[in-house]
Amino acid sequence: MRKAVTVRKTKETDIELTLDLDGKGVADINTGIGFFDHMLTALAVHGGLDLSVKCRGDLEVDGHHTVEDIGIAFGKALAQALGDKKGIERFACSYVPMDGALARCVLDISGRAYLRFEAPSLTGMTGGYDASLTEEFFAAVCSNAFICAHIDELRGKNTHHVCEAVFKAFARALKTAVAVTGGNIPSTKGSL
């Protein structure tokens, strides 16, 4: 069973996150930030995973702690759900257009944390969501799941569309990378 539950409680956030990599794309999200809920729902739906996130954060300060800490919780849950990574596809690439926006995500479920993030349009507010926090979310995911991700905005001007294309590209690449397609650890080292 490729499932995990992560609980994270700090003075800034109180998070319970449940992840099922073999789900059906069901999302139950409540972060207190409507647009971020929309992005996490897109991650679940397009990633083919079941995701539940309940968060109470210090939104009176801003959304930073909420977004980053949910990234930490998601990354930890992803690492736990993947286990020894036996049989996974490991590598994946996805391009997603969203009207005038186009995003690419290339993943390696490598056991090493790395993020290259190039999305210059992700600035300013989209609803109650600070789009610049998108990089913080993915940095936290990569650091805690020990995955390598290259995420690029290839074109776009509309912040909503660029952000949505980025989340969907990550989701689709993740779906492929974590798919069980064999029986061995996909590494010449014998472990990931």
Tens-of-pLDDT digits for all 192 residues of the chain? 899 999 999 999 999 999 999 999 999 999 999 999 999 999 999 999 999 999 999 999 999 999 999 999 999 999 999 999 999 999 999 999 999 999 999 999 999 999 999 999 999 999 999 999 999 999 999 999 999 999 999 999 999 999 999 999 999 999 999 999 999 988 888 888
Q: What is the pLDDT of residue 192?
A: 87
Q: What is the pLDDT of residue 6?
A: 98
192 in a structural domain: no
CA distances for 85 relative to 50, 92, 172, 181, angstroms: 19, 15, 18, 11
Q: What is the pLDDT of residue 36?
A: 98
17 in a structural domain: yes
- Residues whose CB falls within 8 Å of the CB of residue 189, separated by 6 or more in sequence, listed in order: none
91 in a structural domain: yes
CATH number for position 50: 3.30.230.40
Domain count, the chain: 1
> Cα separation of 174 and 8, whole Å?
23
Residue 129: name the closest of 32, 16, 12 by CA: 32
Q: Which residue type, as a one-letter code, is found at position 86?
A: K
Tell me which residue range forms the domain holding 42. Answer: 3-177
187 in a structural domain: no
> Cα separation of 115 and 15, whole Å?
24
| pTM assigned to the model | 0.97
